[in-house]
Amino acid sequence: MANINLLPWREERRQLIKKQFLIILGASVAVAALLIMLTMSIFNSAISGQEGRNQYLQSHITRINKEVAEIRELELRRQQLLDRMNIIQNLQGTRPLIVRVFDEMVRTLPDGLFFTSVVRSGSRIDVEGIAESNNRVSSLMRKLDASSWFSEPNLTAVKAAEEYGDQASNFKLSFRISAPSPEEEK
């Protein structure tokens, strides 16, 4: 019988298959490493792109916040200017009123009576004065009530003032300014 040795052929075949396996395994590892590197670079570029967009948005948000602060400051300054303008307009509008009030006070003041103190708070005027007699105070109250510039005269105190005469008296009186309408004034 012939003796055929198949072992070297099998051994060579095993070596060849082992070599192919190692080559395929190495190629698979290289492809897997390449895929991992590619995936990592894609994710890193996506992350850096998102960080760039976030930075862009953050810079615009900061700029817009500064603009909003400037707008608020300008609105505050505008309101302050409007308040000043209103105050000036009110002062300009009431300037002739004061002159008319003093003129009307002089017209309503009867002889034998004088004021020692005049205090205005808003549309209310408080006066203190000295009269030769109580009749003079009554006359003043009637004239104030009849005046179109004054209303609600209210006598709060009357005391004897002997240093000015037997019938002299100190008085405290208050009334309101009520400017007449243009038709009444004419």
70 or 123, which is more confident: 70
pLDDT band at 41 (very low <50, low <70, confident <90, very high): very high
CATH number at residue 167: 3.30.70.2830
Kindly state the average pLDDT of the residues 75-101: 87
Residue 4 pLDDT > 90: no
Task: Give me the pLDDT at residue 182, please.
Answer: 53
Banded model confidence at residue 2, pLDDT cuts 50, 70, 90:
low
Once rounded to an integer, what is the mean pLDDT over residues 129-137? 86
Question: Number of structural domains, the chain?
Answer: 1
Domain-located, residue 91: no
pLDDT class of 5 with cuts at 50, 70, 90: low
pLDDT at res. 7: 65
**Which residue reads 């103190």 in tokens?**
117
| Angle at CA of residue 109, ends 106 and 115, nearest 5° | 90
Residue 56 is assigned to a structural domain of this protein: no
Q: Which domain holds residue 148?
A: 109-185
pLDDT at 44: 96
Residue 143 maps to a domain? yes
The verdict on residue 155 lying in a domain is yes
Side chain identity at residue 44, one-letter code: N
Q: How far apart are CA 36 and CA 185, in angstroms?
A: 98
Give a yes or no: residue 94 inside a domain: no
Q: 164 or 32: whose pLDDT is higher?
A: 32
CA distance 155 to 127: 10
Q: Is residue 121 part of a domain?
A: yes
- Amino acid 107: pLDDT: 86
Structural domain includes residue 2:
no
pLDDT digits (tens, 9 = 90+) for 93-117: 777 777 888 888 888 888 888 889 9
118 belongs to a structural domain = yes
